[in-house]
Chains A and B, each alone.
Chain A
């Protein structure tokens, strides 16, 4: 326990010393002046190497340089305060409140810890939060897996992600992708990524990934697919339009997609875009006798085939 405290003290003292210095500190200066470097030269050396790694793990950037670039003299170290410190520029009390609200969306979800520590840092700037009306129904992010961190790291570095994915016909297959976008919609998380097998952009739903996600370094350049916008990352290419009769006051979840609505009395006739024939068949079957397909024939035939199967199985 004691040695653990000593190590922590040493790491903090090293941070302070490297931050406070206006010039590079050499290793021998560090060993001489920073408290905690003891033992043989090799021990100190090992300690220092480990400490540098540890600080980097904490996201603290240590700059290596030398006093005189013309001479190959001993390397020196420092931490630039502009890199160490949070710099959000001018920030208003309202902005602080908005950031706090943004962080609170993570309550109980995957990045709750990161959100919490971000808030502590923001509260340490010394700008008080504004009392903007914090609504009770503030949006919440759905409980997602710890994998979000891996995914966002891969997006930032254009690294590969490898995982097993449950396909629509229940086959679990290995995928290797380069992700370029992450989004959440209606409680589900999606990754947009370039599937390395087919070299095409695909959308993956996070809860369909089986087991863990592995990140693999990508050394090649990666060009972001340009056609995706900031919004609407989950784009399906439309396969035409269906004409469907829906009973008055019914089939609300189909009506929300209607491109047009015509009043037929007891029924309305709507047109909806077809984004995947099978999922439209499912929606039509869900609504039972309140929905009747007029066009296209392909859709009608699929619906009829499913109904026949239902009659045979349950009759």
Chain B
């Protein structure tokens, strides 16, 4: 279950799964077979050779499995005992259950048929591995928006977006030409040419608020400015978990002064403000002065009201 199994056992497991797979994929090439099981072709050949020696007691040609291995293509006969796939393991079931739950949250609402199918599968799997359905996963982005982005990628069409830029705290309207999807730091981004900025931009998918396919070709606007990382130095005066997670550092580092970097001045300002008494920004001095000025401004407002 949770334990790691030894190499010979992993191989036994693979051989047991190989028989039913061959049974439903007669004549598959050795190369494809090896790729399916994520082993080298040499390893797969050796696996097949071992299988050759296995069968029912008696071990005459009548009882041995009949593997054909002709010019790189594999067929199997006479393996009725192992012909059905093995029951799924606990880990496999958990992987499927969590994946299904994630899927359930990302299917569009108008596909009630798929939603029902996913629910049924969840019930079946949880029964098989005997775990209550208390494991759950929810997608980060809305299924409706994902559907539009998919369509634009497939048709190479233009998109008009409403995008929430977190650091500037602005919702902007943009017209983009989506190019590809990238996964980074556990987030999905849409890499696109942004006609509004006149430059390449990555849009975090869970921050896209609305998306529509746009018919007309937009005009290119002024070219954008390249982003450069800003350095800043911070002192932790009263570190808390909240603060170290915000600045992305380890809790053992939180007693020191640290030099960090960020892409945006707004992010630095907001992060320091949000941390309140816990941190002090030492450098750069202009951002430091900004923070003091802003905090004083807000304070004055509270005093007046």
Residues of A within 8 A of B (CB): 4-5, 7-9, 11-13, 15-17, 19-20, 33-35, 54, 57-60, 81, 83-89, 92, 94-95, 98-99, 101-106, 108, 111, 114-118, 120-126, 132, 135-143, 148-150, 152-153, 155-156, 166-170, 172, 180-187, 192, 208, 215, 224, 228, 230-231, 233, 249-253, 278-279, 281-283, 285-290, 292, 300, 303-311, 313-315
Contact = CB atoms under 8 A, between A and B. Distances in A.
Contact of A252 (B164, B274, B299): B164
A84 B86 contact: yes
Contacts of A89: 124
B259 interface: no
A120 B36 contact: yes
Interface string B143-156: 00011011001100
B105 interface: yes
Q: Which of A106, A123, A286 has the most CB of B within 10 A?
A: A286
B12 A58 contact: yes
B169 A252 contact: yes
B118 to A, nearest CB: 6
Interface residues of B, number: 121
Interface of B: 1-3, 5, 8-9, 11-13, 15-17, 20-21, 23-25, 36-38, 50-51, 53-59, 81-82, 84-96, 98-100, 102-103, 105-106, 114, 117-118, 120-121, 124, 128-141, 146-147, 149-150, 153-154, 164, 166, 169-171, 181, 183, 186-188, 205-206, 237, 239-242, 244, 251, 254, 269-277, 280-281, 288-289, 291-292, 294-299, 301-302, 305
Given A124-B20, A252-B164, 15 more contacts: A5-B50, A58-B5, A102-B98, A105-B99, A105-B103, A114-B91, A115-B92, A136-B153, A155-B131, A170-B244, A170-B251, A224-B134, A288-B269, A289-B294, A314-B292
B254 to A, nearest CB: 7
Contacts of A34: 57
